[in-house]
Amino acid sequence: MKPLNIGMIGYGFMGRTHSNGYRQANRFFDLEYQPVLKAVCARNEEKAKAFAEQQGYESIETDWRKLIARDDIDAVDVCTPNNLHKEISIAAAEAGKMVLCEKPLAMSVAEGIEMCEAVEKAGVANMVWYNYRRVPAVTLAKQLIDEGRLGKVFHYRANFLQDWTINADVPQGGAATWRLDAEAAGSGVTGDLLAHCIDTALWLNGDIEDVSAMTETFVKERVHAETGAKQPVTIDDACMFHCHFKNGSLGLFESTRYARGHKALYTLEVNGENASLRWDLHDLHRLEYFDHGDDSIVRGWRSVHVSDGDQPYMGNWWVPGLQIGYEHTFIHQVADFLKSLETGEPAHPNFRDALETQKVCDAVLASAKERCWKNI
Ligand code: 4PW
């Protein structure tokens, strides 16, 4: 077993999902490399220590530059707010470290290009944590589409709906609510939620040609979590766009944090000439599938419980009928990354792939601002 020493920068919700992925991957997948939780970095020493103890990191740092400079770190995991992705990723690549970066890749396409150039120039392995590709039911959707079962695709539809920012008293900025602060996040639901939908869409249905979007900011002012000052809100609270895919199909996307009752309703549907499929994060182990080729007397939507060993990733888990969940998507992503180091075939989505998603996000925001169609 070859050790792969991980240095994680940031320690929030995503830090926990990734750490769990590093710990579990080798217990369920046959891999040459084994992650070692070497160090975690956070500005607050007490919090870094508590995280290291809980998750099993051997040491802590409070300055990310020191973590990157350490000889005993092979791969840097960037789990910070989005405004630090570029600086840290480029510094890590220049130090010869592999880089695993949280989504979205960057604050803008310009930043993303610099990041791609840095990892490619350094020749270091790189990956972006668009984890929903690794839900077995979504990977199965990709398999069915690639096998040509849907035929010509006409429609691609996706939503990502939440409701946690309806209360105007929710602050912006700070460790827990940086996602509402444009300075830290770059954008609102577009980069945070729609970016997932776009990544999956590009993977399942190919490139997008052009977009037309609208955004809204429902709560105009919020208190900053750290300074207490009331500030204008400049993120998009909701975003909708429609688009043309290069394969001729039409896309429709919606995301909001104001859909009362919805906590993380990520749904997607693809309608093809011969078949359709749909998936829902709240029921993530099921893939709904309609095949027009079925005998007409039994034709209808079938609900495939994705738990069989023949289905993607599932042969590594329990026995048919027993399902897995959200945390497994990160375990799969770690396993795929480790496998890529073995085979030399890049893991996806890498920085270059994530740049394509960034291009769509930037075009969506520009389209909404200028009220016109934007080419990608
Ligand atoms: O990346 C997204 C987060 O910022 C996640 O997939 C879901 O929405 C859960 O938290 C937020």
pLDDT tens string 293-313? 999 999 999 999 999 999 999
Residue 268: the pLDDT is: 99
Nearest residue by C-alpha to atom 1 in ligand 1: 192
Q: Is the pTM here over 0.95, yes or no?
A: yes
Tell me how far the alpha carbon of residue 192 lies from the centroid of ligand 1, in angstroms: 6
- Is 192 a pocket residue for ligand 1 (Cβ < 6 Å)? yes
Distance 227 CA to ligand 1 centre (A): 25
Dist CA 196 CA 17 (whole Å) = 16
The response to whether residue 176 sits with its C-beta less than 6 Å from ligand 1 reads no
Q: Whose CA is nearest to atom 3 of ligand 1?
A: 192
CA of 240 to the centre of ligand 1 (A): 18
> Amino acid letter at 348?
H
pLDDT single digits (tens) 196-245: 999 999 999 999 999 999 999 999 999 999 999 999 999 999 999 999 99
Three-state SS string over the chain comes to CEEEEEEEECCCHHHHHHHHHHHHHHHHCCCCEEEEEEEEECCCHHHHHHHHHHHCCCEEECCHHHHHHCCCCCEEEECCCHHHHHHHHHHHHHCCCEEEECCCCCCCHHHHHHHHHHHHHHCCCEEECCHHHHCHHHHHHHHHHHCCCCCCEEEEEEEEECCCCCCCCCCEEHHHHHHHCHHHHCCCHHHHHHHHHHHHHHHHHCCEEEEEEEEECCCCEEEECCCCCEEECCCCCEEEEEEEECCCCEEEEEEECCCCCCCCEEEEEEEECCEEEEEEHHHCCEEEEEECCCCCCCCCCEEEECCCCCCCCHHHCCCCCCCCCCHHHHHHHHHHHHHHHHHCCCCCCCHHHHHHHHHHHHHHHHHHHHCCCEEC
Tell me the angle at which helices 45-55 and 13-28 cross, rounded to the nearest 10 degrees.
Answer: 20
- Answer yes or no: is the C-beta of 102 below 6 A from any ligand 1 atom: no
**Residue numbers in the chain where pLDDT is lower than 70:** none
C-alpha of residue 111 to centroid of ligand 1, in Å: 22
229 with 223: CB under 8 angstroms? yes
Q: Is 199 touching ligand 1 by the criterion CB < 6 Å?
A: no
Give the residue whose CA is nearest to atom 6 of ligand 1: 193
Strand partners, 374: 211
